[in-house]
Structure 1
Amino acid sequence: MDVLDSVAPAERPELPLPQLHAFSVLADELHFGRAAARLGIAQPPLSQQIRRLEEKVGHALFVREPGRVALTAAGRELLPAAQRALSVLSAGLEAARAAGSGRSGRLRIGFAASVALTVLPGLLRTFRERFPAVRLDIREMTSAPQLAALREQNIDVGLLREPPTAAADGPELGFRTVLRERFVAVLPAAHPLAAGRVVTLDALAGEPFVLLPRAAGPQFHDQIVALCGAAGFVPRVAQHAVEWQTVCALVEAGFGVSLAPAGVRRMRLRGVAFRALAPDTVRTRVALAWRLADPNPAVAHLLALAGERGRGGPGAGR
């Protein structure tokens, strides 16, 4: 038991940290001149700090004799507590600096499933390399739930498909495009149109469609409908599915055809054919979304990293 442990919390004296620091350094050096030099102060201020600490403890902490400085019994008892207090403070300050600078803490990221096939892996890998002490909480969700989760502060950043316009979604959220993808036609492998390398949109006019429900991502859903409208038809939806894996499985099972971001081709399902579209004039966007007033510095780090990748990374801006 050290001297601080023996005192009831309500009775513990106030021990200023500068005095504990001076005491710890002098206990290490056992020489006033060397201790003062190490502290960057003159000897008189050091002696004053030690005397004030001894007054609070109520006992001498050092034996002072010509040519000799040594710890008293009280000093030897106080030293471990002083060193522990200084160590805890140092660790606390470093943790606070790391959290305040975004080098530690927590970052909650929502992402649409198709994004996991494109920008998500590389972005997360680079972020973890640069900020290994930041704990990442990754949550798969479609675009509309991501926007709700951002407003409700359940996630910090979203990676979503076809972000809304700022005017439509209010001023509290920011959006930054990180990828533009082509559309592809998703067909059963045995479909006659799969025999060619390119499918024209108007050739799909009579086909049943498997699409994501509009509630999962209104802007993306409307973009597909608009694409079909530009080709002269309204898609006849035979089945809805929330995940691209399910969309492709239903296409393979013969429920219909679909239009998907090009990254979905990476699923490489044996019974599904992915074909380029003509005309090839429209891109679907993947964007980062965040709260503009979010104080979490890790959000700013992720945005900066996405900006770096956007300027120099493969596929940027396409």
Structure 2
Amino acid sequence: MNRPDLPLPQLHAFVVLAEELHFGHAAARLGIAQPPLSQQIRRLEDRVGHALFTRGPGRVGLTPVGEELLPAARSALSTLTDALAAARAVGEGRAGTLRIGFAASLALTVLPALLRRFREQVPDVQLHIQEMTTAPQLAALRERSLDVGLLREPGDDDSELAFRTVLREPFVAVLPVGHPLAGHEYVRVAQLADSPFVLLPRHVGPRFHDQIVGLCVEAGFTPRITQHAVEWQTVCALVEAGLGVSIAPASIARIRLEGIVFRRLDPDKLRTRVAVGRHREHRSPLIDPLLAALATDFDT
């Protein structure tokens, strides 16, 4: 019994001969001799079970069976050509889907310029962007449900993940406008010792949380954390409501709320590290264009 699937080289030979209606011209167009072309057509006709061409002295024509097959053959070849082009584009990092996780605060710094540059370089790539805190990003990178993560203080002691520093950002004090220190240009961390704190919970970013607590401990006190919030917008809203003060990355100062102020710290030495992370064994060709878009001029 004949197999129902048709070999693509024979379909290609068939379509070219149907367009040329001349064995010599079709063979020249295909870059083969005339006998191999005739063999391809014969094999295809054997598979179909009927003649595809009428043959006469100096003339070739399509049979009704050939006329029926021609549109489907063209469609099959076109589909294959498109599929090969799409696969090639993915393999070359020009198309496909890239899944990116990012810390919410990075929407105020790195993310907009990164996405703009990436879009300019590879406009056909589909981006799936997900806002996530550090700990869930690390888990997603290990599971490879994310291709790339933009996160704070990931650490470098992870055997599965690789990181590259993108930005080192200073800290600011976040104060309600009625706070006694709100009118100061700089705030010493020790001056916050008597104020309640609003911070992100430790489990969403342990290293980052410990940085802030360590900053306070170095200043001679342990912060009295009375409120937690996962998002910086919420932290700022709680500070505005008078529920405490906070210490945050300097980019948070771009959040505009009338009831809060942001003040640089004195001494201004500590920096929070922003890094791009990926799984060490994840080889998506789309990652390299993204890393290229992360230029060093993000650094401060």
CA distance in 2, matches of 1:58, 1:247: 75
Shift of the alpha carbon at 1:151? 2.0
Q: Identify the residue that residue 288 of structure 1 maps to in structure 2.
A: 276
Matches within 5 A, 1:159-198: 159-166=150-157, 170-198=158-186
Structure 2: how far apart are the matches of 1:227 and 1:196?
19
Amino acid at match of 2:144: Q
Please report how far the alpha carbon of residue 116 of structure 1 lies from its aligned counterpart in structure 2 after TM superposition: 1.0
Q: C-alpha distance in 2, partners of 1:83/1:13?
A: 17
Alignment of 1:79-118 (within 5 A): 79-118=70-109
Distance in 1 between the 2:285 and 2:24 partners? Answer: 44
Letter in 2 for 1:212: L
Equivalent pair of 2:156/2:162 in contact (CA under 8 Å): no
What residue in structure 1 maps to residue 47 of structure 2?
A: 56
SS at match of 1:269: coil
Alpha-carbon shift at residue 32 of structure 1 (Å): 2.0
Aligned equivalents of 2:48 and 2:209: distance in 1? 73
- Counterpart Cα distance in 1 of 2:155 and 2:87: 36
SS in 1 for 2:146: coil
Letter in 2 for 1:61: L
AA matched with 2:40: Q
Given the superposition, is the C-alpha separation of residues 264 and 63 from structure 1 closer, same or farther in structure 2, using an over 3 Å criterion? same
Which residue pairs with 1:72 in the alignment? 63
Q: Distance in 1 between matches of 2:48 and 2:130?
A: 54
Structure 2: 5+ residue stretches without partners:
none
Residue type of the partner of 1:287?
Answer: A
AA aligned to 2:148 is V
1-structure distance, mates of 2:69, 2:213: 76
CA displacement, residues 42-67 of structure 1 (integer Å, 9 cap, x when unaligned): 22222222222223223322222233
Q: Counterpart of 2:32 in 1: which secondary structure?
A: coil
1:317 aligns with 2:299: yes
Report how far residue 137 of structure 1 moved: 1.7
| Matching of residues 126-205 of structure 1 within 5 Å | 126-166=117-157, 170-205=158-193
Deviating 4+ runs (over 3 angstroms)? 10-14
Task: Write the deviation string for residues 244-266 of structure 1: whole angstroms up to 9, x where unpaired.
Answer: 11111111111111111010011
For the 8 Å contact 2:103–2:132, the answer to whether it is kept is: yes
How far has the Cα of 1:184 moved from its partner?
A: 0.7
Q: CA deviation at 1:291?
A: 0.8
CA distance, structure 2, for counterparts of residue 224 and residue 15 of structure 1:
67
For residue 25 of structure 1, report the CA deviation from its aligned partner. 0.5
Gapped regions of structure 1 (runs ≥ 5): 1-9
Matched, 1:249 2:237: yes
Give the CA deviation at 1:23.
Answer: 0.9
Distance of 1:196 and 1:26 partners within structure 2: 85
Cross-structure match for 1:228: 216
Could you state the TM-score of these two structures normalised by the residue count of structure 2? Answer: 0.93
AA partner of residue 262 (structure 1): A
- Structure 2: distance between partners of 1:241 and 1:52: 71
1:33 and 2:24 equivalent? Answer: yes
Q: Which SS does the other structure have where 1:109 is aligned? A: strand
Shift of 1:114: 0.7
C-alpha distance after superposition, 1:99-144 (max 9, x if no partner): 3333332222221111111101111222233333322222212111
Equivalent position amino acid for 1:317 in 2: D
TM-score with structure 1 length normalisation? 0.88
Q: Deviations over 1:280-306 (max 9, x none)?
A: 111111111111111332233322322
Question: Could you tell which deviates more after superposition, 228-237 or 248-257?
Answer: 228-237
User: How many residues are aligned here?
Assistant: 300
What RMSD in Å do the two structures reach over aligned CA positions?
1.8
In the alignment, structure 1 residue 43 sits paired with structure 2 residue 34: yes
Q: Once structures 1 and 2 are overlaid, which stretch shifts more, 243-252 or 93-102?
A: 93-102
Deviates more, 1:99-108 or 1:284-293: 99-108
Distance in 2 between residues matched to 1:228 and 1:182, nearest whole Å:
15
- Secondary structure at the counterpart of residue 195 of structure 1: coil
Note the alpha carbon deviations across 1:166-222, whole angstroms, 9 max, x for none.
Answer: 2xxx31111111111111111111222111211122222222211111111100011
Distance 1:179 1:245, change over 3 A: same
Shift of 1:98: 2.5
Q: What's the offset of the Cα at 1:14?
A: 4.4
Residues 1:14 and 1:270: Cα distance change in structure 2 (over 3 Å): closer
Which amino acid counterpart does residue 57 of structure 2 have in structure 1? P
d(CA) in 2 for partners of 1:209 and 1:281?
21
